[in-house]
Structure 1
């Protein structure tokens, strides 16, 4: 059975990005993706400038608007 694990290979070492395999010895097939450009951070999605300043804060930021006892999913 094949299982996939995501890792970064950097100068001869493997850094696991998630769960690492729970085995001592295994035969592996390695597929290399395009080289990573470490000088540029990942691009992040940006909100449209047209919605700047349109948001409103409703209620307290630190406390919920309704009491926790009213939430049926918590109990």
Structure 2
């Protein structure tokens, strides 16, 4: 444990001892919340990563073809 960590822990303990019992319980509840919040955070995955196990391989050409099929006969405004 580094010196800075020990100092911070001592400062937290000093503050804890200065609180009433109900405030100590409130602080304990908050500390448990922080531990739980930081316990496990799955890594963020891209859309490509989320779909990787589905076995679907979509290329740029596939997307361009789908766009042409979808919008190819869409009426264009006269500009």
TM-score, normalisation: structure 2: 0.20
TM-score, normalisation: structure 1: 0.20
Q: Bigger radius of gyration, 1 or 2? A: 2
Which structure shows the higher strand fraction?
Answer: 1
